[in-house]
Amino acid sequence: MPDRVIDLRSDTVTTPTDAMRRAMYEAELGDDVYGEDPSVNRLEQMSAERLGKEAALLLLSGTMGNLVGMLAQTRPGDEVIVGQHSHIFLNEAGGAAALGGIQLYPVPTTRGAIDPADVEGALRDPKNLHHPRSRLVCLENTANRDGGAAVSVGAMDTVAEVAHRRGLRVHIDGARIFNAAVALDVPVERLVQGADSVTFCLSKGLGCPMGSILAGDADYIQEARRWRKMVGGGLRQAGIIAAAGIVALEQMIDRMAEDHANAKRLAEGLNRLPGLTIDVDAVETNIIMLHFDEQRADPKAFVSGLRERGIKVGSPYGGRMRLVTHYQVSREDVDYVLKAAEQALGLVHA
């Protein structure tokens, strides 16, 4: 494998920028469990302002953000309506059930959007003793498994409106909410306006080494702070992490448009190759879903051919594979990947 590696497995693989490393080195620190870490306090305040919420809380990961986010607004036995492709349902190790006694009710999604009629259809009868209590609806934006689809303001608002009318709260797993805001060209604050709680990840397209933010109203965040402590997420000099987060909010959001343009360019190029199909119009952010015509392109050979050329991609599943761009993938890298893909498919020789 060549020295230089282009890693398209996820945007979680990004390592911190020089500015982040400097900020981490110089960060003013204190004990965050006492509420005395100035860098954490600043990041939480900046995040709350950005999202248009009263307060925010720094957590270790997106999974912890979603877990604490749910724990702080449910009781054991409650039901939470989620998209059937959502990260909460598929990829959080059953934490809602194991640690919160929460029952998840999966409903269909179309490019990340939940049909409000499906929320209505999933609601339980609060007077019926046999039923669990419907408590919360979770939306994901961008929708990872749905190819990084950016769910529109309208689609977010209509679900929130139904949920609130029926007495449920709304949580947004906004691991990549800034990608959505940039792609849709709307203020992030507007996109999450209908949500009672929202998480976003610092450690994906924003490039931080770790961390996620949960935001909501002040009482809710106070409650979440308690749950964070309970699951072991009360940190001490967490300003080390927060310092990178501050840089991310200041420097790393607008540039995500480059990642989206690179994903589009990569998708267009790969889609021209025999045996590979991508719905190029569906590439709205930094995630690409590539489909194999297995008669013409062997997924395993393709993956190992790319690897020999210094390109890491995710494992194919069900005839498809995810590719993700981020700030450590340049336009030149995309062109290199396209050449390498031709070689890996045996179309040209290296």
Binding site for ligand TLP (CB under 6 A): 10, 12, 61-63, 66, 87, 91, 140, 144, 173, 175, 201, 203, 212
Which residues touch 324 (CB under 8 Å, ≥6 apart)?
8, 9, 10, 11, 148, 263, 286, 287, 288
Cis? peptide before 142, omega within 30° of 0: yes
| Cβ at position 9, least distance to ligand TLP in Å | 7
User: Which CB sits closer to ligand TLP, 12 or 158?
Assistant: 12
CA-CA-CA-CA torsion for 86, 91, 93, 98, nearest 10 degrees?
-10
Q: Residues 229-234: contacts with CB within 8 Å, 24+ apart?
A: 229/33, 230/71, 231/64, 231/67, 231/68, 231/71, 231/99, 233/59, 233/60, 233/64, 233/68, 234/32, 234/33
| Cβ at position 325, least distance to ligand TLP in Å | 13
The continuous run of DSSP H or E covering 57 comes out as: strand 55-59
What one-character DSSP code corresponds to residue 253?
S
User: Which CB sits closer to ligand TLP, 287 or 306?
Assistant: 287
Query: Distance (Å, rounded) from C-alpha 149 to C-alpha 330?
Result: 22
Query: Distance (Å, rounded) from C-alpha 102 to C-alpha 110?
Result: 24
Nearest residue to ligand TLP by CB is 62
Query: Distance (Å, rounded) from C-alpha 145 to C-alpha 43?
Result: 29
Helices of type H across the chain: 18-26, 38-51, 62-71, 87-90, 95-100, 116-122, 153-165, 177-184, 188-191, 218-230, 239-251, 256-271, 299-308, 331-344
| Cβ at position 183, least distance to ligand TLP in Å | 15
| Cβ at position 192, least distance to ligand TLP in Å | 14
- By three-state DSSP, how is residue 199 classified? strand
Q: Which of 110, 102, 100 is nearest to 137 (CA)?
A: 102
| Cβ at position 228, least distance to ligand TLP in Å | 14
| Cβ at position 187, least distance to ligand TLP in Å | 21
Instruction: State how far Cα 6 lies from the chain centre.
Output: 21
| Cβ at position 150, least distance to ligand TLP in Å | 13
User: Which CB sits closer to ligand TLP, 70 or 273?
Assistant: 70
| Cβ at position 289, least distance to ligand TLP in Å | 13
User: Which CB sits closer to ligand TLP, 85 or 297?
Assistant: 85
- By three-state DSSP, how is residue 178 classified? helix
User: Which CB sits closer to ligand TLP, 112 or 239?
Assistant: 112
* Helix, strand, coil percent content, the chain, rounded in steps of 5: 45, 20, 40
User: Which CB sits closer to ligand TLP, 173 or 259?
Assistant: 173
| Cβ at position 44, least distance to ligand TLP in Å | 17
